[in-house]
C-alpha cells in the first residue's frame, strides 16, 4: 500500500504538470441521437447531460441526426474532434443511428474470417470504428433499403490498423420483447444518470468459465485469478470480492449463473464461453456417471450430429447408418432420432444448457452486475433486432455496461487488459478505446465509471493527455501494474522507450500485466529483439503470456524458435491451451527442423521420462500429422494446378495456414499471376503474415506491385493495403 501511495503522488505530479488549458480543451463529449428518440426521451436526455457536465466535468455536444447516413455523422464528429476549443474525447450513439457494415477489413478483427462472397449482411463487420477512428478511410458501397445498414469498403488510402481517436458506445434499444424502444431508452437513461449522481466503488468481480473455453485449461483459469490480484490488489482484503463458477459444477449451470449475475453488489462479470447474438453457450450434456447415463450421453450427441448433418443438407438416413457402423452402436439407439417427440425432448435439454433471449422474456432474470464482459462471439451484435448485450443493459436491473463483439471473437486474446484502471475511476469508454478491435463494442453509456478509490490518480485527465514525456516517466514507475502497463502502451511508438528497456520489463517486472504489455510493444516493432522476446515469454510463469509466445512462434516460423517450441511440446505441465497451440504450431515449421530439435530435446530429458518409446511415439505422431500438411496444396497452387474456384478457396485458407518457409514460393507465384482476382486475393492473404520471418519478401512484392501503373487498379490498391499491413 505504501508503494501505491508513493506512485499516486508521482502520478499526481505528472498530471499536474500538464497545462490546465490543454486538459480542459480535451474534455468534451458528443451525444448523437435520432430526432424521434430525442423527442420521446427529452427529459431523460437533459438529466443525463446535466449529470455528465456537473459530475464528470465534460462539456456535452448534442448532435441530432438529421442526415441519416454515416458519412455526415462521421464528418461532424471529426470536426468536433479537430476543433481547437473543447474538442471531443468520446461519443455515444443513441437510438436509431445508422450502422456501418465494414467489408475488406477482416484483418482488423480478432478472429472473423468469412468469405465475402457470402451475403454482405453476414460477411460484413458491423462496427463503430467507422465513427471513432478517423485514420481509417472507407469507400461507400451502398445501403440496404428498410434497414439501418450502410456498407463500406476499407480503403487502401487510410490506416490498416485500428487505433480509435475517440471512445464510443451504443445505446440502441429495439421493440423486441414487447416493450417499446423508447420506454427502454427512458428507463436506461434514468439508470445511467443515477449511476453518475451516486457513483459506486469497484467492490467485486465474478468469473464464469463455460464449455470449451480456452480448451478448459485449469492453468489458464488459475493464472487469470493471479492477474486479478494485480488488477485489483485492494480486493484481496475484502470478503466475498471474488467469485468463480465453472460450468461442470452442476449438470445444468444456468440457474446458478443467473442468480450470481443478479447479486445486488456485483461490480463486474467476466464471462468466458461461446456465443451467438441470441445465446450464451454455457454447458454441454452432463458427463455420465453410470452405464445408463453413458448410453444417454452417446445417444444425445449422436442425435445432435444428425441435426447438424440435416442443416448441411445431407441425407439423414444414410448418415445414421454410417454413424451406427462407425461407432459400433445398436441401431435402436438412434431409432427415434428426428421424431417430433424426441426433438422436443432434446430442445428442452438444450434450453437447460444455454442462456438465451428467452430467459429475459418473463422478467424474472434481471442482471444487476454493473459491467458484463462477454468473452464470446456475437453477444454484442447490437445491429440485430435484439442481442444478449442489449438484454443485459435494458432489463430493469442495475447493469449499465456490456462489452461484446458483433462477430467472432478470438479466444486467445487479452480479455482483462487494463480493467484494473476501472477501480481508479476510468471512464468505461477508455477501456474499449485502448483495447480496440473492429468488432469490439461497448453497449451502454461510455462515460460510466466507478467511484475512484481513495488516493487514486486522476486517470481520466492522464488519459486525455498525449504527452510522450508523461507516459515515459510513468512507464518507469512500479507499484501499479495497470498504470505502468498503460504507460508502456501509450509510449510504445516512442524511440525513447527502447527495446532494451522493454526486454528488461519482460524479464524483470514482477507484474504479469507489465510483462505482457512489454511483449506486445516488442511485437509491434518486430526484428531480432522480438524473437528474443518470444523465447523469454515461452519461459514465463504466467499462462497467458506463455500462450501468446506460442502463437507468435506460429506466426513467425523463425528457425531460431524451434528449440523453444520443442521444449514446450515435451514438458509435462504446460497448460492444456499452451499444449494445444504448440501442437498446432507444428504446421508452420519444416519437418526436418522439428525432428532435429526433437532429437536434441529428448536426449536432454531422457533421464527423467518413463516409457521413453511411448513418449517419443506420441511426439512423432503429432509431428507426422501436422508438419508439412499444407505443403502439397500450396505447391499445387503455385504450379497452377487448381481451377479458379479451388485456387481462390486455397488462397482463403492461406490467411491462416501459410507456413512462413513457403512464403517466398507464394510471393514468386503472386508476382507472375495473370488472373487479377487471384492476384488480388493472394496479396490480401499475404498481408496476414506481417510477423513471418520471411515477411521482407512480402514487403518487397507489395511495394513493387503498388507502384506498377501497368497493374489493374484493384491489384495496386490491395498491394498498397498489404504493404501497410506488413510494414513496421
The pLDDT score that the predictor gives to residue 540 is 97
For residues 33 and 171, give the distance between their C-alpha atoms in angstroms, rounded to a whole number. 10
Q: What is the mean pLDDT of residues 353-376?
A: 95
CA 418 vs. chain centroid, Å, equals 14
Residue 345 · residue 354 · CB < 8 Å: no
The pLDDT score that the predictor gives to residue 18 is 40
The pLDDT score that the predictor gives to residue 457 is 78
The pLDDT score that the predictor gives to residue 511 is 97
Residue 639 pLDDT > 80: yes
Q: What is the mean pLDDT of residues 629-651?
A: 97
Q: Which of 75, 182, 133, 132 is nearest to 446 (CA)?
A: 132
Residues in CB range of 682: below 8 A, 6 or more apart = 651, 654, 666, 669, 670, 673
Residue 449 · residue 425 · CB < 8 Å: yes
What confidence tens digit (pLDDT) does each residue in 168-191 have?
A: 999 999 999 989 999 999 999 999
Q: What is the mean pLDDT of residues 422-440?
A: 97
What confidence tens digit (pLDDT) does each residue in 121-169 have?
A: 999 999 999 999 999 999 999 999 999 999 999 999 999 999 999 999 9
Residue 21 pLDDT > 80: no
Dihedral angle over CA of 289, 293, 295, 296, nearest 10: -140
Tell me what the pLDDT averaged over the chain comes to: 94
The pLDDT score that the predictor gives to residue 26 is 52
Helix (H, G, I), strand (E, B) or coil at 242: strand
Helix (H, G, I), strand (E, B) or coil at 154: strand
The pLDDT score that the predictor gives to residue 434 is 97
Q: What is the mean pLDDT of residues 270-277?
A: 97
Residue 15 pLDDT > 60: no
For residues 122 and 672, give the distance between their C-alpha atoms in angstroms, rounded to a whole number. 33
For residues 390 and 179, give the distance between their C-alpha atoms in angstroms, rounded to a whole number. 13
What confidence tier does 237 reach under pLDDT thresholds 50, 70, 90?
Answer: confident
Q: What is the mean pLDDT of residues 364-376?
A: 97
Residue 8 pLDDT > 50: no
What confidence tens digit (pLDDT) does each residue in 277-332 have?
A: 999 999 999 999 999 999 999 999 999 999 999 998 889 899 999 999 999 999 99
Q: What is the mean pLDDT of residues 197-211?
A: 97
Q: What is the mean pLDDT of residues 210-236?
A: 93
What confidence tier does 363 reach under pLDDT thresholds 50, 70, 90?
Answer: confident
What confidence tens digit (pLDDT) does each residue in 454-509 have?
A: 877 789 999 987 788 999 999 988 789 999 999 999 999 999 999 999 999 999 99
Share of the chain above pLDDT 90, in %: 90
What confidence tier does 264 reach under pLDDT thresholds 50, 70, 90?
Answer: very high
Share of the chain above pLDDT 70, in %: 96
Residue 539 · residue 561 · CB < 8 Å: no
Amino acid at each position: 500500500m505504501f508503494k501505491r501511495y508513493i506512485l499516486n503522488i508521482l502520478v499526481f505530479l505528472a498530471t499536474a504538470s500538464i497545462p490546465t488549458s490543454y486538459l480542459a480543451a480535451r474534455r468534451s463529449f458528443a451525444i448523437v441521437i435520432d430526432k424521434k428518440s430525442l423527442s420521446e426521451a427529452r427529459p431523460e436526455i437533459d438529466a443525463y447531460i446535466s449529470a455528465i457536465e456537473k459530475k464528470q466535468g465534460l462539456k456535452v455536444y448534442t448532435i441530432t441526426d438529421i442526415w441519416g447516413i454515416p458519412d455526415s455523422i462521421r464528418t461532424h464528429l471529426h470536426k468536433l474532434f479537430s476543433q481547437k476549443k473543447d474538442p471531443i474525447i468520446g461519443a455515444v450513439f443513441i437510438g436509431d443511428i445508422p450502422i456501418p457494415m465494414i467489408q475488406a477489413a477482416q484483418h482488423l478483427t480478432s478472429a472473423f474470417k468469412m468469405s465475402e462472397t457470402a451475403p454482405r449482411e453476414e460477411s460484413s463487420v458491423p462496427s463503430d470504428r467507422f465513427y471513432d477512428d478517423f485514420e481509417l478511410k472507407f469507400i461507400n458501397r451502398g445501403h440496404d433499403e428498410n434497414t439501418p445498414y450502410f456498407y463500406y469498403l476499407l480503403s487502401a488510402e487510410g490506416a490498416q490498423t485500428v487505433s480509435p481517436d475517440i471512445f464510443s458506445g451504443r445505446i440502441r434499444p429495439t421493440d423486441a420483447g414487447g416493450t417499446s424502444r423508447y420506454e427502454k431508452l427512458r428507463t436506461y437513461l434514468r439508470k445511467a444518470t443515477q449511476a453518475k449522481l451516486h457513483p459506486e466503488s469497484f467492490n467485486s468481480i465474478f468469473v464464469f468459465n463455460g464449455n470449451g473455453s480456452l480448451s478448459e485449461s485449469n492453468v489458464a483459469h488459475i493464472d487469470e485469478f493471479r492477474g486479478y490480484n494485480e488488477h485489483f490488489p485492494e480486493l484481496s482484503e475484502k470478503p466475498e470480492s471474488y467469485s468463480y463458477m465453472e460450468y461442470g459444477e452442476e449438470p445444468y449451470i444456468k440457474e446458478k449463473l443467473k442468480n450470481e449475475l443478479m447479486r445486488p453488489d456485483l461490480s463486474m462479470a467476466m464471462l468466458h464461453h461461446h456465443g451467438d447474438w441470441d445465446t450464451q453457450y454455457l454447458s454441454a450434456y452432463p458427463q455420465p456417471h453410470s452405464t445408463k447415463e453413458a448410453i444417454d450421453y452417446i445417444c444425445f450427441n449422436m442425435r445432435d450430429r444428425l441435426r447438424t448433418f440435416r442443416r448441411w443438407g445431407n441425407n439423414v438416413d444414410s448418415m445414421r447408418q454410417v454413424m451406427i457402423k462407425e461407432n459400433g452402436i445398436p441401431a435402436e439407439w438412434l431409432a427415434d432420432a428426428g421424431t417430433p417427440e424426441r426433438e422436443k425432448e432434446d430442445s428442452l435439454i438444450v434450453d437447460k444448457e444455454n442462456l438465451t433471449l428467452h430467459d429475459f422474456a418473463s422478467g424474472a432474470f434481471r442482471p444487476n452486475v454493473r459491467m458484463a464482459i462477454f468473452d464470446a462471439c456475437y453477444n454484442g451484435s447490437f445491429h440485430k433486432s435484439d442481442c444478449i448485450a442489449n438484454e443485459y443493459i435494458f432489463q430493469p436491473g442495475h447493469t449499465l455496461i456490456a462489452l461484446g463483439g458483433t462477430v467472432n471473437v478470438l479466444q486467445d486474446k487479452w480479455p482483462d487488459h487494463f480493467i484494473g484502471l476501472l477501480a481508479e475511476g476510468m471512464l468505461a469508454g477508455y477501456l474499449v478505446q485502448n483495447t480496440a478491435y473492429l468488432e469490439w463494442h461497448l453497449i451502454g453509456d461510455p462515460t460510466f465509471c466507478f467511484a475512484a478509490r481513495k488516493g487514486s490518480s486522476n486517470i481520466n485527465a492522464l488519459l486525455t493527455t498525449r504527452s510522450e514525456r508523461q507516459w515515459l516517466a510513468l512507464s518507469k514507475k512500479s507499484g501499479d501494474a495497470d498504470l505502468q502497463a498503460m504507460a508502456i502502451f501509450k509510449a510504445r511508438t516512442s524511440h525513447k522507450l527502447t527495446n532494451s528497456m522493454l526486454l528488461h520489463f519482460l524479464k524483470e517486472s514482477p507484474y504479469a500485466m507489465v510483462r505482457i504489455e512489454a511483449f506486445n510493444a516488442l511485437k509491434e516493432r518486430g526484428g531480432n529483439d522480438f524473437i528474443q522476446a518470444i523465447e523469454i515469454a515461452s519461459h514465463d510463469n504466467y499462462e497467458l503470456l506463455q500462450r501468446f509466445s506460442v502463437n507468435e512462434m506460429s506466426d513467425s516460423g523463425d528457425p531460431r524458435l524451434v528449440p523453444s517450441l520443442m521444449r514446450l511440446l515435451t514438458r509435462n505441465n504446460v497448460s492444456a491451451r499452451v499444449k494445444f497451440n504448440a501442437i498446432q504450431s507444428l504446421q508452420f515449421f519444416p519437418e526436418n527442423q522439428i525432428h532435429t530439435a526433437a532429437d536434441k530435446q529428448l536426449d536432454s530429458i531422457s533421464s527423467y521420462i518413463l516409457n521413453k518409446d511411448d513418449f517419443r511415439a506420441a511426439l512423432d505422431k503429432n509431428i507426422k500429422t501436422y508438419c508439412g500438411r499444407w505443403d502439397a496444396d500450396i505447391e499445387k497452387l503455385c504450379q497452377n494446378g487448381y481451377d479458379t474456384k479451388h485456387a481462390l478457396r486455397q488462397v482463403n485458407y492461406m490467411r491462416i495456414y501459410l507456413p512462413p518457409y513457403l512464403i517466398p514460393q507464394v510471393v514468386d507465384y503472386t508476382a507472375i499471376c495473370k488472373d487479377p482476382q487471384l492476384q488480388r486475393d493472394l496479396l490480401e492473404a499475404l498481408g496476414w503474415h506481417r510477423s513471418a520471418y520471411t515477411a521482407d519478401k512480402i514487403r518487397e512484392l507489395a511495394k513493387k506491385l503498388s507502384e506498377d501503373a501497368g497493374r489493374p487498379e484493384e491489384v495496386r490498391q490491395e498491394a498498397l493495403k498489404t504493404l501497410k499491413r506488413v510494414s513496421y
